[in-house]
């Protein structure tokens, strides 16, 4: 691979390190009682309120509908996903180092698989929170109502308007992926066309050339 492609791959890999520091996904909740909004961010290692106590408040409000408390300690993915990202950074850097097209493709595949797994996992947890309700202790029971927030988009959940959007981390991961793709494309363009030398020579002498001239 060209120097430029390897550099792009390396930048992509290093970019992934940002995932440890910025939120991946963000959920915003607005209600007449909360015009200023409540929010929580899904990070690689934890789930936090957007402001101090937002998560606590969300949990407290959710008791009315019998939803389980959101406890980051109880989500094992938050412990092993950081390791996956570490592995992806290592793989990306490795791909840049060895400069093999196949390794870059493997890295991109890993990245895509991780992204997909993350979204599926997010959906699975939000499904569990939204459907697995403790009706015995719930104060508000609306028949047929579930409280799963959308993965992307906005949904009305009783008095709350819940919006879920990718946050900086998701965009950074996407950018890293894009850099990898660009690295492959740039590398393809850098390869000179495979044309037999004889054919080229012959070309020079073809009568057609004279026509062009």
Partner 1 sequence: MKPSLKKLLPTAIAVVGIGALLFACRTTNPGVKTAVTNDAAQKVFVAPGQYDEYYAFLSGGFSGQIAVYGIPSGRLLKVIPVFSQNPENAWGYSEETKPMLQTSHGFVPWDDSHHPELSQTDGMPNGKWIFINANNTPRIARVDLTRFETDEIIEIPNAAGGHAAPFTTPDGRFVVSATRFSVPIPNTDVAISDYKKSFRGTISFVKADVPGKMEVAFQILMPGYDYDLGHAGKGPSDGWFFFTSYNSEQAYTKLEANASQNDKDYVAAVNWKRAEECVAAGKAKTTPSSYKHNFIDENSRIATSETKTSVAMLDPRDCDGLVYFLPTPKSPHGVDVDPTGQYIVAGGKLATVIPVHSFAKLQKAINDKEFESTIDGIPVLKYNAILAGEVKNPGLGPLHTEFDGKGYAYTSMFISSEVVKWKLGTWEIVDRIPTYYSIGHLMIPGGDTKRPWGKYLIAMNKITKDRYLPTGPELAQAAQLIDISGEKMKLLLDFPTIGEPHYAQALPASMIKDKQVKFYSLAQNSNPYKIMKEAEGGINRAGKRVDVKMLAIRSHFAPDNIEGVQLGDTVYFHVTNVEQDWDILHGFAVLGNNNSELIVAPGETRTIKWVPTRVGVFPFYCTDFCSALHQEMQGYIRVSPAGTSVPLIAKLSDKALTQTGRLEKTMPTKHGHE
Nearer to partner 1, 60 or 154 (CB): 60
Is 44 a binding residue for partner 1 by CB under 8 A? The answer is no
| Contact residue for partner 1 among 17, 21, 64, 142 (CB under 8 A) | 64
Is 76 a binding residue for partner 1 by CB under 8 A? The answer is no
Q: CB 39 → partner 1: shortest distance, Å?
A: 12
Nearer to partner 1, 50 or 146 (CB): 50
C-alpha to C-alpha distance for 88 and 122, rounded to whole angstroms: 20
DSSP 68: P
Is 211 a binding residue for partner 1 by CB under 8 A? The answer is no
Give me the sheet containing 47-49, strands edge to edge. Answer: 47-49, 34-42, 25-31, 160-166, 153-157
Is 52 a binding residue for partner 1 by CB under 8 A? The answer is yes
Is 59 a binding residue for partner 1 by CB under 8 A? The answer is yes
Is 68 a binding residue for partner 1 by CB under 8 A? The answer is yes
Q: CB 74 → partner 1: shortest distance, Å?
A: 9
C-alpha to C-alpha distance for 165 and 167, rounded to whole angstroms: 6
C-alpha to C-alpha distance for 188 and 145, rounded to whole angstroms: 53
| Contact residue for partner 1 among 21, 53, 109, 202 (CB under 8 A) | 53
Write each residue from 18 to 37 as x if it is in contact with partner 1 (CB under 8 A), else as -, in one continuous string: ------------------x-
Q: How many residues bind partner 1 (CB under 8 A)?
A: 20
Phi, psi of 138 (to 5 degrees): -65, 140
Nearer to partner 1, 48 or 84 (CB): 48
CA atoms within 13 A on the CB side of 135: 8
| Contact residue for partner 1 among 3, 76, 137, 201 (CB under 8 A) | 137
Distance of CA 68 to the CA centre of its chain: 26
154's tokens: 């906005």
The vertex-57 CA angle with 52 and 60, nearest 5°, equals 150
| Contact residue for partner 1 among 10, 11, 18, 48 (CB under 8 A) | 48
Tell me how far CA of residue 78 lies from CA of 43, 72, 81, 106, in angstroms.
8, 7, 6, 24
Give the binding site for partner 1 (CB under 8 A). 36, 48-49, 52-53, 55-57, 59-60, 63-64, 68-71, 134, 137, 139-140
């Amino acid at each position: 691979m060209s120097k430029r492609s390897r550099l792009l791959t390396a930048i992509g890999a290093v970019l992934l390190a940002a995932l440890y520091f910025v939120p991946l996904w963000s959920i915003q909740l607005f209600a007449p009682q909360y015009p200023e909004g409540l929010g929580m961010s899904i990070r690689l290692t934890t789930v936090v309120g957007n402001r101090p106590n937002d998560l606590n408040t969300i949990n407290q409000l959710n008791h009315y509908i019998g939803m389980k408390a959101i406890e980051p300690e109880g989500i094992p993915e938050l412990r092993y996903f950081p390791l996956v990202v570490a592995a992806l950074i290592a793989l990306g850097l490795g791909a840049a180092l060895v400069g093999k097209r196949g390794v870059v493709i493997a890295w991109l595949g890993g990245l895509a698989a991780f992204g997909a797994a993350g979204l599926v996992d997010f959906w699975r947890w939000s499904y569990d929170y939204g459907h697995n309700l403790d009706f015995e202790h719930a104060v508000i029971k609306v028949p047929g109502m579930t409280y799963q927030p959308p993965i992307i988009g906005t949904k009305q959940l009783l008095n709350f308007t819940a919006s879920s959007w990718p946050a900086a981390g998701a965009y950074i991961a996407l950018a890293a992926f894009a850099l990898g793709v660009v690295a492959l494309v740039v590398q393809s363009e850098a390869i000179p066309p495979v044309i037999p030398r004889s054919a080229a020579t012959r070309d020079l002498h073809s009568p057609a050339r004279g026509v062009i001239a």
